[in-house]
Structure 1
């Protein structure tokens, strides 16, 4: 592995595709070695994102694994983009589709997630009714965006990891406004907040509330910082937008979000107090619901 190499998300997406191709082919590392004429160790490090993957190597492995051009090309272009994303995007101007990640897929590989939710709750804690209410309020062009889909299998897996630790930890910072906004109506919101209170009791989860009296917050309403146990994977920041999700990977881009999270943590209510506020808000919605 190259010294001090950090594998960006694009390189890791390419690596993940190569690992899938080999699994589908049924070939062993030794069998691959005989066909591409490089070591088994090289194939292993490539498909684990431990080294930069070149486009020529992608093309060679596609031939070995019998992958057609439709599936090969996004990985081929992804290998080029991984080496210099900014230059690639400037030159390609959106004409070359690259293999990528959705937020749930990256979250599934993280071991620590820090979330700031100042407008709505994050997908991991949604009840089905809360999710439906959010989707019904969106215009069709937004609800159809693939990055907004959060499969139930990912939710179940993440909650299981948080409950049984220590493979995943999550810190969630909420604004008081999130507790007041009646998404889907009082009964839907009551159920959602009771579920949030239960989520806060999971072994690997911590939930904090920033009351209105602690001051206003200027900046993006919600973001997530994801960390990984592997030293070759740096933290990444995820921003959700109407046209698609945005990943920030450079230190310069990440720093304002990391600092903001730490700042909000210093002014947030303690965990136990936060849970009390959540239960109180849930009960308020339930008591004032009209059936």
Structure 2
């Protein structure tokens, strides 16, 4: 498995500090008073919202009675690693939640995702990505569009690694039927989807229209599972682009059960049949035009 990124290390650091404080029998207010800090500073450190300097961290560990050198070095390394930022060059393109998702994805052992409307980003072809980006943000400059595509391509390198998460994707048939960029772009995207679905460690299932309503229609979500001592993480994004993470066991467990129920709806071997049928039926209506398909910008 790849080395955990900064966001994972921050979460592990947060967990270790909370455990140490709890074991010492101290409240946040008591620690803040001992350290001569404002309570909000400690709250932000424990929430992973801000970094913590080496000196402050050593003072905290002393206050918590942590004396084992191995343990101290482990926590110090978590703090150092939490400042290493993959995708650093793309931080201006994505919001904080998207950057965190990319890091969690790199460090996960299992990624499960449900997407009822579109092909998930890591499975998209370049032409499909450009068509979506141009639709969402028509004023995006050519240079910005190129950088967005470049970032997605860097993300997709994860699919080629020998040591990578197991990927499980469930799409609704709407995702493979909706023309994004025109029939030529979409046919190439579907062929790519079929090829990815044939690879070991990548499962792609499509829930057909004929099965009617299902739990996945409530919206897209991503569940991430880790080898490290970390709880599963749920990622939810709403239509306004805002996103939220949760490691609440009651929530992650419910979404995992929903995912498993969706998996049982359709055999995994149905993907080639459903994709081939969609491609066969994806003929352009007489007299219709598809803007910019020739240059791949739609």
Q: CA deviation at 1:212?
A: 1.3
TM-score of the superposed pair, with normalisation by structure 2: 0.61
Structure 2 counterpart SS, 1:197: helix
Q: Which residue of 1 aligns with 2:184?
A: 187
CA, structure 1 residues 255+42, in 2 after alignment: closer, same or farther (shift >3 Å)? Answer: same
Q: Cα–Cα, structure 1 residues 181 and 99, in superposed 2: closer, same or farther, change >3 Å?
A: closer
- Select the residue among 175, 188, 205 that pairs with 1:178: 175
* Alignment CA distance shift 1:261-1:136 (3 Å): same
Deviations 1:37-63 (A, max 9, x none): 9735413234338xxxxxxxx9xxxxx
CA contact (8 A) 1:15 1:47 kept: no
**Match of residue 120 from structure 1:** 118
In structure 2, the CA distance between the partners of 1:214 and 1:207, relative to structure 1 (3 Å rule), is same
- Residue ranges of structure 2 left out of the alignment (5+ in a row): 1-9, 16-46, 84-95
The partner residue of 2:200 within 191, 200, 203 is 203
- Quote the residue 2:75 is aligned against: 45
Alpha-carbon distance in 2 for matches of 1:210, 1:99: 28
Task: Please give the per-residue CA displacement for 1:221-249, whole angstroms capped at 9, x wherever unaligned.
Answer: 2111110111x111111112324321111
Corresponding residue to 1:229 among 227, 230, 244: 227
Q: Is the 8 A contact 2:116 2:172 kept in 1?
A: yes
Which residue, 101, 104, 108 being the options, matches 1:103? 101
Equivalence for 2:151:
151
- Structure 1: where are the runs of 5+ without partners? 1-6, 23-31, 50-57, 59-64, 66-97
1:254 partnered with 2:257: no
Instruction: Tell me the CA shift for residue 286 of structure 1.
Output: 6.2
2:159 is equivalent to residue 129 of structure 1: no
- Say whether the 8 Å CA contact 1:237–1:247 is kept in structure 2: yes
Q: Within 1, Cα distance between the matches of 2:127 and 2:98? A: 29
How far off its partner does 1:136 sit?
Answer: 1.8
CA RMSD in angstroms comes to: 4.1
